[in-house]
Amino acid sequence: MWVAILGLSLAAAVASLFYLVSRFKKFLFIRKLAGEKKGLFKLFSWLMFLPLVVYGIFDTVNAIIVLLHLAVFWLIADGIAAVVRNFKRRHRTNKTDLSNDNNTDSNQLADEKDDVTITGSPDDSGMKKTDCSTGRKKPYWLGLTVLLITAVYLGIGWYNAHHVSITKYKVNTEKEIGAESLRIVQITDSHVGTTFDGEGFAEHMKTVQNLEPDIVVITGDFVDDGSTKEDL
């Protein structure tokens, strides 16, 4: 089962990578770097993900997590942007019909694609010069927003994973427990070796001792693949 889950995750990560590369081509700085060479758009877009791919060799799970989160947020943003563009286009069309205006320039501008357009004009030798235009003078704000949201979201997740939180519960029971009350401390999802090392876990155990528990229970994901004997 875990092999199937890992396989599906890898397939989703690869699909996400191709999708994100197609999005990164819209960034203005990549268009400027590519200049008039259209083929360089993909090259520079792929190079942007090279550090993440290299990181994935050493930490595959976290690299997949980053890719999937970024792709999901970008898909949501693209969907919202498509709905907004469609609404604006319909509103503009209705307004044009009501005013009986034959000028369709606004509709043509709305239908323009973000892809690179190639225009040519003959030079003195009779050959055509190729002029590579980005078709977009403004920064790719949607992409920048998605990157920011993803960074903040994953940053919050990283912080929560590396900082232990304490939640207190009070449970009443009519069963005989052999004492007037019991204080039970449960430690879960420690991921020793990933979120913190053995020394860090020892520091958290001091916090547990200060709670003066009668019973200590360790449950769920105590160690990870990266855990070592030194951590334990």
Residues 78 and 152 in one domain: yes
Residues 139 and 183 in one domain: no
Question: Among candidates 130, 128, 131, 92, which has minimal Cα distance to 110?
Answer: 92
Cβ 64 vs Cβ 13: under 8 Å = yes
Computed over its alpha carbons, how large is the radius of gyration of the chain? 28
pLDDT value at residue 136: 45
What single letter denotes the amino acid at residue 166?
Answer: I
DSSP 114: S
Residues 112 and 145 in one domain: yes
Residues 156 and 61 in one domain: yes
pLDDT value at residue 80: 95
Residues 9 and 103 in one domain: yes
Residue 187: phi and psi, rounded to 5, are -110, 125
Residues 207 and 147 in one domain: no
Retrieve residue 7's tokens.
């396989």
| Domain boundary residue, one of 146, 162, 178 | 162
| Domain boundary residue, one of 162, 177, 193 | 162
Other beta carbons less than 10 A from residue 38's beta carbon: 15
Question: Among candidates 143, 153, 211, which has minimal Cα distance to 183?
Answer: 211
pLDDT value at residue 99: 66
Residues 138 and 223 in one domain: no
pLDDT value at residue 100: 54
| Domain boundary residue, one of 162, 177, 202 | 162
Cα gap 88→106, rounded to integer Å:
11
Residues 156 and 209 in one domain: no
pLDDT value at residue 128: 37
Residues 132 and 93 in one domain: yes
Retrieve residue 49's tokens.
């993900």
Residues 86 and 195 in one domain: no
**208: exposed, middle or buried (C-beta count within 10 Å: 0-12, 13-18, 19+)?**
middle
pLDDT along the chain (232 residues), means of 10: 82 92 86 76 84 84 90 95 91 73 49 45 39 56 94 92 86 85 89 80 87 89 77 70
Q: How many independent structural domains does the chain possess?
A: 2
Retrieve residue 182's tokens.
């019991």
Residues 38 and 121 in one domain: yes
Which residues span the domain enclosing 158?
2-162
Residues 156 and 191 in one domain: no
| pTM recorded for the entire structure | 0.66
